[in-house]
Structure 1
């Protein structure tokens, strides 16, 4: 699949995220959607977006205007398993989602029609059943992260065990290669946050606070925070998309903002448009470039 993620919607209201199977953003490949019949119901607009995305990022030589050919190649990459599909949300979630984020104010104005607003809601939120499962896993990770060094053999062994317990189908060599790449990215990201923290003159690194989402208390670990002054920063390196992990962080940060916190996301490079829209909908400030 071409580099980067793309979110598409069907005429019946479901939203799906299409992701390169080797993307480090994928938390759990086994949760990918195996039923690809939704491709027959992708909106004409998003079918065109998929074709354009394929032409822009794939190595194939497809001339502009050949949308059908580009779309077919994109669809083949899904059927072949090179592209993984994750359900983001369905139209049934719209009312509940709207009640959660309707009072949040955007930090910059954008023009949108009612249809655009529904698409934005679908991009910004996860289907509740999937989100609940992901939330539990996220907290399980957060609770255990401080118990061992991320680069230790014990850490790797525990992550491998967790992957197997969740039904992971990869063999150890394949899983290990992805793990090592993720650890390298984590080390580079950690240094980038340390460097940025030194320029601020306030706050402490890796501060964990409690926040309430849907009536339940969840932990939120901020890259930089001054808990007394209710200020926090989430620092992002690399190309960032509206993936599961980021959307879950946004939900918790939106709760912090509602309780009086000043939260800012800082991106080292330009993030995806759906991710920016999600931050704006949640009333979270952001900065691009450091």
Structure 2
């Protein structure tokens, strides 16, 4: 019988050995960070011989929101009962951590995990999520007149724009982890920068909005993007100019599939997909309603 425990720093060597054995280089790079978290972190499935046979991650992107990820089993043929038990354990752990909303991502290649979450743990699919990049677009030499950075005077216009959106999700700190986009998040973005809007004319309603950051690598990260379509090209032109000013040549994003496709169609550039799958959600407080697709 398996037991499920939260990994500690003392487990690091054993965890790293397990991850190398299943060739999970992505999670291997995050082990130290996950083991240092004060809440959530890396969780292990341990067999009767104290050997690791599976891993999972629980993080809290927001105080009352939990994210479940990196469920990996040693067996190449994942066992449904083990996945079911792991999912139940994660949900209970998320509840103990104070989460009201629990989200998980299921990749297109991991339908068993998606099925277990839905049939055994009452998760509901809400939308598809894509992490990827755009490359090869040439920014205009002249900044677009209609799009640019948002300022404090734009806050009310942006609030009115966002009031039309039901349960918006964004990639606040990690493009692979969608979380709720709340009014305070927008306020914080104004403080740290990285809000772009079109049109900029304060007399007009907002048509297109982007939340972004420029990392010290080779990409501008798009954390949220929404457009009614009238000024989408102008906003994208501005973002490419911003990227060029920072010396980066890629637009990397974590967005819902519909928005990613809208950008690809506008730029006429294919998406270089890094990850694609479904967002599933479970509400621990039964009074909360499921998000709209």
Tell whether the structures are fold-level matches, with TM greater than 0.5: no
Structure exhibiting the larger radius of gyration computed from Cα positions? 2
Question: More relative contact order in 1 or in 2 (CA 8 Å, sep 6+)?
Answer: 2
- Which TM-score band applies after superposition, normalised by the shorter structure? under 0.3
Structure (1/2) with the larger strand percentage: 2
TM-score normalised by structure 1 residue count: 0.27
